[in-house]
Amino acid sequence: MFKIKLGGGKTAEVEESMYWHTTSHIMAQAVKRLFPKAKLAIGPAIDEGFYYDFDVERPFTDEDKEKIEEEMKKIIKEDLPIERFELPRDEAIKLMKEKDEPYKVELIEELPEGEVISFYKQGEFTDLCRGPHLPSTGCVKAVKLLNNSGAYWKGSEKNKMLQRIYAISFPKASELDEYMTLLEERQARDHRKIGKDLKLFMTHPLVGAGLPMYLPDGATIRRVLERYIQDKELALGYWHVYTPSLATVNLYKTSGHWDHYKEDMFPMMKMDNEELVLRPMNCPHHMLIYKSDMRSYRDLPIKIGELAHDFRYENSGAVCGLERVRQMCQNDAHLFVRPDQIKEEVGKVINLIFEVYIKDFGFSRDSFKFRLSLRDKANKEKYIDNDEMWETAESGLREILKELDIEFYEAEGEAAFYGPKIDIQIKTALGHDVTIPTCQLDFALPERFELEYVGEDGEAHRPVVIHRAILGTSDRFISFLIEETKGNLPFWLCPKQVKILPIADRHLDYANKIKEELQKHNLRVEVDSRSEKIGYKIREAQLSKVPYMLIIGDKEQESNTVGVRSRGEGDIGAMKVEEFLNKAK
Ligand SMILES: [Zn+2]
Ligand SMILES: [Zn+2]
């Protein structure tokens, strides 16, 4: 909500969308004053600000945008009252034809019979509009035009290309300043831009939307990250398996995905006598691995992990870099436990999450929020139907969180279709919460796959399954990490950890000798052997965000040292190779 000042010292709270939409009328009025031939299309408020589409002879230049912004400020100063009036359909069409606004005529003609047709007028400017609006143009204070782009009328390539201007407004200049700083920060952190600059990944229309390809340096980050988490899990007694990305539809009918998750899956393929699908999750495969052998109560917990490729339908407009993709690599595991082990094992999962995020990646404990995600009781058809199971699982997780003394909040409608979950949200550098790790309790899949273990009493019992992901998907985790660090990844994850920069060609042999020495200690090292000036090499190495540069000239060569520059500390002087190795370790 925005606070605005009204006449007579009164103030009011208004919706941002109303404030921004009013500003879009002011922008349209300014454009009409400056470009009287411009035809108006639509100008809605969006999540952040608003846009307006115009049919003009040529795209707007930066100079045009400056003039438009100036004109808008004049209109705000004029403090024109905004008045609403209604017209019958034929008169509304007549008015818009008089004003030569063919897009508005089209919009009116499309309105269903009997709908009220309203207009808003401010000064000489009138726009077809449902409203509501602020009482006058003077209620708007700080405005800023942002980017502009081409946009098809009604979003269809078959229609004419219009010119869209995005903009935003606030009741206070300080709020606008804050927003502009946030935008800069967001751009500087955008993993798509950093990923492109650092050559980490690429996409190609021949491959398809939402299907990024990892370039060598991006692939190194991913390989190191995946080895790291896999080693960690192996040390905790997880088994790591490989299962196929495809399975028959019947597997997902058994698991319930076909009934509850089909919309998010790729369509089915027929081959020979089988109907196959690309899997959206790995759980069903892991259920079958559990079931492949007799299990005793002594064997439990059994922890089956996999770095597995999953495939989900994402709208082509929603896919984004590595963050939202159609093929993802899950850091997935399923823990098959006895009911008496649930609490201990969920506790261990939470400990592992803390170890990874706090100890190894350096996030603070304060940046975590725990959400207990429950089913939406008013929408039961979205979930597996078993009230008793849901009650047990939901209250079970609630108990565990309380016993672990973890603060949490509850959210209805956020559960998986097969059970409730604990979602761990992390506050990002830009201040919003993202959900990456999850831990879910599942009584349903063991039932559907008729999983069993032999209890102490010699009878068959049903295990409980804990689904958990620590890094979420490799893809999203990497995008998250890039945005958090602005590409300055922790040393152990950097695709190139050390760059050796010989000052002249005569230092190349010595440079290569150092490189071999460092490689023996498993460092990822590169020599910049080009005959470029040293200043140029340093600048390029800096842009590549390499943590250490070793500069090598006559002095270093003679004294058997290296001149060290660090990403964080700058020039830290000459040292022996062993000394540098200790520092790097
Ligand atoms: Zn309007
Ligand atoms: Zn699962």
The residues with which 307 forms a beta bridge, in sequence order, are 331
Here the tokens at position 173 are 């200049």
On whether the pTM is more than 0.75, the answer is: yes
Here the tokens at position 297 are 């109560």
pLDDT number for residue 155: 86
Here the tokens at position 330 are 């899950």
Contact in structure between 408 and 370 (CB atoms under 8 Å): yes
Sequence-ordered list of residues with C-beta below 8 angstroms from that of 287, at least 6 positions apart, any chain:
255, 334, 445, 446, 449, 451, 465
User: Is residue 190 annotated as a catalytic residue, yes or no?
Assistant: no
* Domains of the chain, each with CATH number or no CATH: 2-182 (3.30.980.10), 201-485 (3.30.930.10), 496-584 (3.40.50.800)
How would residue 383 be classed by pLDDT, with cut points 50, 70 and 90?
confident
User: Is residue 330 annotated as a catalytic residue, yes or no?
Assistant: yes
Query: 139, 283, 439, 494: which one is catalytic?
Result: 283
What spacing in Å lies between the alpha carbon of 334 and ligand 2's midpoint? 6
pLDDT tens digits, 456-484: 999 999 999 999 999 999 999 999 999 99
DSSP string, 471-524: EEEHHHHHHHHHHHHTT---GGG-S--EEEEESSGGGHHHHHHHHHHHHHTT--
What spacing in Å lies between the alpha carbon of 187 and ligand 2's midpoint? 34
Q: Of the candidates 364, 386, 498, which has an alpha carbon nearest to the alpha carbon of residue 443?
A: 386
Here the tokens at position 257 are 């995905």
Closest ligand relative to 19 C-alpha:
1
User: Is residue 191 annotated as a catalytic residue, yes or no?
Assistant: no
Contact in structure between 122 and 25 (CB atoms under 8 Å): yes
pLDDT number for residue 385: 79
pLDDT number for residue 430: 75
User: Is residue 467 annotated as a catalytic residue, yes or no?
Assistant: yes
Contact in structure between 198 and 545 (CB atoms under 8 Å): yes
Contact in structure between 446 and 392 (CB atoms under 8 Å): no
Residue 518 and residue 368: Cα distance in Å, rounded? 38
pLDDT number for residue 443: 86
pLDDT tens digits, 40-78: 999 999 989 999 999 999 999 999 999 999 999 999 999
Q: Of the candidates 191, 187, 202, 212, which has an alpha carbon nearest to the alpha carbon of residue 479?
A: 191
What spacing in Å lies between the alpha carbon of 59 and ligand 1's midpoint? 23
What spacing in Å lies between the alpha carbon of 43 and ligand 1's midpoint? 7
Angle at which helices 577-584 and 508-520 cross, to 10°: 40
What spacing in Å lies between the alpha carbon of 63 and ligand 1's midpoint? 26
What spacing in Å lies between the alpha carbon of 115 and ligand 1's midpoint? 16
Closest ligand relative to 29 C-alpha:
1
How would residue 317 be classed by pLDDT, with cut points 50, 70 and 90?
confident
What spacing in Å lies between the alpha carbon of 546 and ligand 1's midpoint? 51
User: Is residue 64 annotated as a catalytic residue, yes or no?
Assistant: no
Ion ligand 2: residues, CB within 5 A, are 283, 467
Here the tokens at position 338 are 């006895």
Here the tokens at position 484 are 């958090």
Q: Of the candidates 11, 64, 3, 1, which has an alpha carbon nearest to the alpha carbon of residue 34?
A: 64
Sequence-ordered list of residues with C-beta below 8 angstroms from that of 459, at least 6 positions apart, any chain:
none
Q: Of the candidates 530, 535, 528, which has an alpha carbon nearest to the alpha carbon of residue 501?
A: 528
- Alpha carbon 393 to its chain's center: 29
Distances (CA, A) of 116 to 111, 129, 522, 563: 9, 10, 73, 76
**Amino acid letter, residue 400:** I
Query: 217, 332, 423, 442: which one is catalytic?
Result: 332
Q: Phi-psi bin for 65: left (phi > 0), alpha (psi -120 to 50), beta?
A: alpha
Strands 408-412, 368-374: pairing kind: parallel
Residue 460 and residue 483: Cα distance in Å, rounded? 49
**Amino acid letter, residue 547:** P
What is the enclosing helix (H) or strand (E) of 108? Answer: helix 102-110
Sequence-ordered list of residues with C-beta below 8 angstroms from that of 179, at least 6 positions apart, any chain:
48, 144, 168, 170
What spacing in Å lies between the alpha carbon of 468 and ligand 2's midpoint? 7
Closest ligand relative to 281 C-alpha:
2
pLDDT tens digits, 362-371: 888 888 889 9
Residue 365 and residue 359: Cα distance in Å, rounded? 10
Query: 29, 163, 330, 497: which one is catalytic?
Result: 330
Query: 144, 303, 421, 537: which one is catalytic?
Result: 421
Q: What angle do CA 163, 188, 354 make, to 5 degrees?
A: 130
pLDDT number for residue 418: 82
Closest ligand relative to 107 C-alpha:
1
pLDDT tens digits, 76-109: 999 999 999 999 998 999 999 999 999 999 999 9
Query: 334, 338, 476, 545: which one is catalytic?
Result: 334
Ion ligand 1: residues, CB within 5 A, are 129
- The rounded mean pLDDT for the chain is 92
